[in-house]
Every structure is written in structure tokens, then in C-alpha cells.
Structure 1
Amino acid sequence: MARLFVVRHGNTFDAGDVVTRVGGRTDLPLSSSGHRQAGALAAHFAETRITAALASPLERTRATARAILGARTDAPALLIRSFLREIDYGPDENRPEAAVVARLGDAALKAWDEDGTPPEGWIVDPPAIRAGWAALLKDISTLAHDANILVVTSNGTARFLPDVVDAAPDGLDRKLKTGAWGEIDVTSARTEIRAWNQRP
């Protein structure tokens, strides 16, 4: 049985910063707390042999992945996959969260959080993201039973992974927190989320 570890990058804001909705057009680096989260992830996965590692093109995901891979001398090269890039929040890109709520309303954001329904104006293709995850799971299912695949991405992309697995825990919150990971068992016959929103 192969395993897929899906990790959300570390923080891009620190306490006291004005938090904005950062999407695929805003390539922020990790903040100080984000680097600490990446370090905690590296310590957690230090004993896990990573067979392959993928990240989105964004610096925050690449930096988090590099921290995890840097904890081992036998780490694979980091591969960049465009389908893992964060979504584009359209007119809400890099705007303070209060302004986003004021424009869209609570109901639209609740539908996004609970069902993955994109609010008006956001540039996101859920079927394409789901297809990317499904293709990756299919590829992983052909690997050796002890393969461990690391994927570092963002919340807007990670939230669609639960839609394409065969089994997930009841009541799973599709939003993946910063510096958190999920673990998916992958075989040729079945995919199952074993853990989600775990932090070191």
C-alpha cells in the first residue's frame, strides 16, 4: 500500500499582520511563523522515507517542501506540478478577509468551505482540479506498496482531494490548515483518507 501525504504550506502572515486572501497570483514567501511550521513538519517527517515529492510553483509551497526534504539525505528531487497551484480569487485576490466577506456574504463563503462551490468572480475549475488529483492517485496506485509520496500545495487546491477518494472520515472538514497534512492510503483497488488536518 502506497501513501500520499498532502501538506498545506506554512503561514504567510504573522500575528499582527493584515491577513489577506492570498491566491495563485500572489506569490508570498513564508512568514516567520510559516518557517517555524515548515521546520515542525520537517521534524515530523524526518523518519519517513519520501519516494517522490511534488509542489506547486508558488514559493510558499516550494519552501515548505524544501524544508521537509532537507531533513533527509536520501530525499528525492522536488517536482513542480502546475495543477497544484493555488486558485485565483479574482476580485478578492490579496484583499483583507473582512472586505471579501463584505463583497460575497457569509452564505457564499460557507458554500465554498463546505461544498467547494466557488463564489462569484473566483477563477477556479473544480473538475480540472479533481481530475488532477484523480490522475495523481492513479499514478501512485502503480507504485511499490511502500512508496511515500509528498505533495505540498495550498488550501484552495487541497480541498478538492476528498472528492475523488473512495473513503474519508465522517464530517471531514475539507479545509486544510496551514502547516497541516493529510494521509491517504492508495492501492490499485481503493483510496482512503486515514488522517486529515494533522499538525506536528
Structure 2
Amino acid sequence: MARLIILRHGNTFDKGETPTRVGARTDLSLSVSGRTQAHALAAHFQDTAFCAAFCSPLLRTRQTARTILDARPHAPALRILTFLTEVDYGPDENQTEDTVIARIGAEALAAWDRDATPPPGWQVDPAALRAAWASLLERASTLEADANVLIVTSNGIARFLPDVVDAQPDGLDRKLKTGAWGVVDVSPDDSRILDWNLRP
């Protein structure tokens, strides 16, 4: 089976700063703690030979992926997949969570976390994202059995992957934490999430 490492970028806010809902239209760089997370990830994966690496156009994903790849010789070229770009949070883009909840309500946010149902006003196409993940899994199924692929994306995009795999751990929390990754094994006959929300 080929193995996909689905990784969320590092932090974009540090302790003491007020975090906001950072989406596709807010292109922040990694914060100090985010860069620390990226270096920890690079150390963790230093002995993993990646045959391919993908990320979104957003700086935070490119910086995270680049830090991991630059820590090894003979790293593959980093390629951009636009579907990996974070969702557009519409009127809630770059707003604090209190402001978001005041507009859409706690239950709408809970539905997003629970089953990826977009709240009103968010610009996201669940069917298209699921189809893009399914296509990527299909392409990965043709790789050599020992191939490893690095994919760096955002929480809003990663949460749609569990919907298109054949098997996943019971009770999986689809929300991927910053600087955390999931492990997905893919073969021509099967795809399964082995683990999720791992950190170094």
C-alpha cells in the first residue's frame, strides 16, 4: 500500500494573540510557534522518503511543507494543488470565534465540526472537495506499495477526506489540529485512515 501523510500547517497565532478564523482569503505566514512546529515535524519525518509532496498555494502550508522537505536530501519537488486551499469563510473570514458564533450560532459551528456541514455564508463546495480527495486517492492507488506522499493542507479541507475512504478508526474527530497529521494507506482495492491527529 502507498501511504499518504495528510498534515495540517503549523500555528499562525502565538500564545497571547487573539486567533481568528483564517480562511482562503487570509494568507498568513507561520507564527513563531508555527515555525517551531514545522521544525519538529521535519525532525520527525527526517527518515521518511517521500516520492511526492503537495500543498496549497497559501503561505502557511508552503512554509510547513518546505521546512519538512528542506531537512532531507533528494526531496521531491513541492507541487501546488489548488483544492488544498482552505475554505472561504465568507463574512466570518478573519473574525474571532466569539464573533462567528454570534452570527451563525453554536449549533451551526458544531455541525461543521461534526459532519462538515458548511454554515450559511461560507463559500465551500463539499461535493467538489470530496471528489477531489477521491481523485487523489485513486491516483495514489497506482503508486508503488512502499511509496510515501506528503500532503500539507488546512483544517477546513482535511475534514472532508474521511468521507471518501473505505475505513477509518471509530469515533474519529475529523478536525485536524495545527501541526498534526493523519496516516492514510491506499491500494487499488482499499483506502483506510490508520491514525489521525498525530503530533511529534
Fold in common (TM above 0.5): yes
User: Identity over the aligned pairs, expressed in percent?
Assistant: 66
CA distance in structure 1 between the partners assigned to 2:148 and 2:91 by the alignment: 38
Specify the SS of the correspondent of 1:185: strand
- Unaligned ranges ≥5, structure 2: none
CA distance in structure 2 between the partners assigned to 1:113 and 1:54 by the alignment: 24
Aligned length: 200
Partner of 2:5: 5
Partner of 2:92: 92
TM-score, length of structure 1 as denominator length? 0.99
Partner of 1:174: 174
CA distance in structure 2 between the partners assigned to 1:72 and 1:141 by the alignment: 25
1:121 Cα deviation (Å)?
Answer: 0.3
Partner of 1:192: 192
Partner of 1:102: 102
1:78 aligns with 2:78: yes
Specify the SS of the correspondent of 2:46: helix
Residues 31-63 of structure 1: CA deviation (Å, up to 9, x unaligned): 000000001110111010001000000000000
CA distance in structure 1 between the partners assigned to 2:186 and 2:71 by the alignment: 25
- Unaligned ranges ≥5, structure 1: none
Residues 124-173 of structure 1: CA deviation (Å, up to 9, x unaligned): 00010111100000000001111100000000000000000000000000
CA distance in structure 2 between the partners assigned to 1:71 and 1:50 by the alignment: 12
CA distance in structure 2 between the partners assigned to 1:129 and 1:37 by the alignment: 27
1:71 Cα deviation (Å)?
Answer: 1.3
CA distance in structure 1 between the partners assigned to 2:66 and 2:128 by the alignment: 27
TM-score, length of structure 2 as denominator length? 0.99
CA distance in structure 1 between the partners assigned to 2:33 and 2:101 by the alignment: 25
Specify the SS of the correspondent of 1:46: coil
1:40 aligns with 2:40: yes
1:151 aligns with 2:141: no
Partner of 1:132: 132
* Superposition CA RMSD, Å: 0.4
CA distance in structure 1 between the partners assigned to 2:145 and 2:26 by the alignment: 38
CA distance in structure 2 between the partners assigned to 1:101 and 1:31 by the alignment: 25
CA distance in structure 1 between the partners assigned to 2:84 and 2:106 by the alignment: 27
CA distance in structure 2 between the partners assigned to 1:68 and 1:132 by the alignment: 24
CA distance in structure 2 between the partners assigned to 1:28 and 1:57 by the alignment: 12
CA distance in structure 1 between the partners assigned to 2:126 and 2:45 by the alignment: 30
Q: Which amino acid aligns with 1:4?
A: L
CA distance in structure 1 between the partners assigned to 2:53 and 2:132 by the alignment: 16
CA distance in structure 1 between the partners assigned to 2:3 and 2:156 by the alignment: 22
Q: Which amino acid aligns with 1:103?
A: R
1:74 Cα deviation (Å)?
Answer: 1.2
CA distance in structure 1 between the partners assigned to 2:193 and 2:35 by the alignment: 27
